[in-house]
Homo-oligomer: A and B are copies of this chain.
Amino acid sequence: AKTYKIAVIPGDGIGKEVTPWAQKALEKAAQGVADFEYEHFDLGAERYLRDGAILPEEEEERIKANDAILLGAVGDPRIKAGILERGLLLKLRFDLDQYVNLRPSKLYKGVTSPLANPGDIDFVVVREGTEGLYCGAGGAVRRGTPQEVATEVSINTAYGVERVVRYAFKLAMKRRKHVTLVHKKNVLINAGDMWQRIVDKVAEEYPEVSHDYLHIDATTIFLVSDPSRFDVILTDNLFGDIITDEAGAVVGGVGYSASGCINASDEYPSMFEPIHGSAPDIAGQNKANPTAAILSAAMLLEHLGFDDAAKKIHAAVEADIAELGSTVRSTDEVGRDILARI
């Protein structure tokens, strides 16, 4: 069995509690087919408060030398919003060119959706990960005065859009063969027009895949009124951020949603994380649900080509939720229960 090098960044809050379970699930599911060697990185709020470091270059280089990354969560109320998010999480997504942010939403049997009639929810959001309003382009003049002007610039390139569009259509071929582009092209006419043109062009190469378009505002309606209509949702960085949280809520909570930040050309490692945050309110109490982190291990395995091992995790999670989904359990209990089924 080949050995894979995994960078582990537990990060802050509950990230530290759930990440060990992702590692255990990884090992058990891949037993006999792959081994894992971990390199731990002490990055996040505590490190920053201790020595001011967010993501030192030397550590980033070592992260890059791994085959994949497992991330817990980043964020701490003691630190001003944006510092860790932009200095660590987004910096990794951008520097490691993780241009596909893959976010499946599935309503598991046994989970209670907040919707009265959720239907059969099973879609994937393909969110662009390296452009748009997340570039950090923007500034302010006359800060703090009545004349202050603050700007944010969304930068979108045909290069960046086309590669993620291709990924979405390829993915749709393995699923129910439908892609929905989500944007706001009636207002953001420059970026929206480019996205639509590139989708139309790439779609010609995939005659079996149907595609349609929805404005972001209308999408938030359908996610509540008819979420089972979606198969692959393709969208930009900010809209993807917004609808994947709504989608997480609709499938019964972000505790069941994992995500992958994919470098689809394999030049740099891809990164796998639960979509929930560091949840300072319940951190350190052995209360956080490790299911999303465990599912992120399954995404990591799929990405490395171990589909059968990934399926073992999915089956274990599905069985666990179906049987015990509504039972109040500690982090460790859920972790042990799922592990026992892998």
Contacts and interface: CB of A to CB of B under 8 A. Distances in A.
Interface stretch (A112-120, A168-176, A261-269, A281-289): A112-120
Interface in A136-151: 136, 138-140, 142-151
Contacts of A90: 187
Contacts of A86: 186-187, 189
Contacts of A150: 156-157, 190-191, 193-194
A245 to B, nearest CB: 4
Given A149-B155, A149-B157, A153-B151, A190 B224 contact: no
B156 A151 contact: yes
Contacts of A138: 154, 188-191
Interface stretch (A26-34, A247-255, A313-321, A323-331): A247-255
A114 B107 CA distance: 16
A85 B187 contact: yes
A162 interface: yes
So how many copies of this chain end up in the complex? 2
A229 interface: no
Interface string A237-257: 010011111101110011000
Interface stretch (A45-53, A58-66, A213-221, A297-305): A213-221
B158 A197 contact: no
A269 to B, nearest CB: 23
Most buried by B among A85, A152, A250: A152
Nearest to A143: B194
A133 B239 CA distance: 13
A210 interface: no
A171 B149 CA distance: 25
Contacts of A145: 158
Given A85-B186, A134-B187, A254-B221, A157 B148 contact: yes
B194 A140 contact: yes
Interface string A184-220: 1111111111100100000000000000000011101
A81 interface: yes
A190 B114 CA distance: 35
14 contacts: A82-B192, A86-B186, A112-B116, A138-B188, A139-B190, A143-B194, A145-B158, A148-B157, A149-B157, A152-B153, A154-B154, A187-B241, A217-B242, A221-B254
Given A86-B189, A223-B246, 20 more contacts: A82-B186, A82-B187, A86-B186, A114-B225, A115-B116, A133-B154, A138-B189, A146-B162, A148-B157, A149-B158, A151-B153, A151-B190, A152-B154, A152-B156, A216-B242, A218-B245, A220-B242, A220-B246, A224-B249, A242-B242
Interface of A: 75, 81-82, 85-86, 90, 112-117, 133-134, 136, 138-140, 142-159, 162, 184-194, 197, 216-218, 220-221, 223-225, 238, 241-246, 248-250, 253-254
